[in-house]
Amino acid sequence: VQLVESGGGLVQAGGSLRLSCAASGRTFSNYAMGWLRQAPGQDREFVAAISWSGGTTRYTDSVKGRFTISRDNAKNTVYLQMNSLKPEDTAVYYCARSKYSTLSPRQYEYHYWGQGTQVTVSS
């Protein structure tokens, strides 16, 4: 399984970015997917997750109302729409595939990871 993120970049505070994660393999639709991020000098943290069907989503409190996770199982792709970006959202964002079909905020339940994409929000 390979996960390839794209869509990161530099944006001003208040702006928007849409991250994409393309997955290889034929079993993409069987598993929950997540986005996690790591800021400089900080531990990696959970951002958002989506169940195998897309019917259930979960977000960390700091991004609720601003970020939206979605997936297109026909395209083997998961997205993270990020609006009203803040400087504290600056981090490397990672896409990950869960071991399970139901979503989880626990990092140890994700066992395939992308290489990450940098998001930088200037003030």
As a whole number of angstroms, the distance between CA 30 and CA 61 comes to 26
Q: Provide the token pair at 66.
A: 């601003």
As a whole number of angstroms, the distance between CA 19 and CA 6 comes to 6
Q: What is the pLDDT of residue 26?
A: 79
Q: In a structure prediction context, what are the per-residue pLDDT tens digits for the chain, which is 123 residues long?
A: 899 999 999 999 999 999 999 999 878 999 999 999 999 999 999 999 999 999 999 999 999 999 999 999 999 999 999 999 999 999 999 999 999 999 889 999 999 999 999 999 999
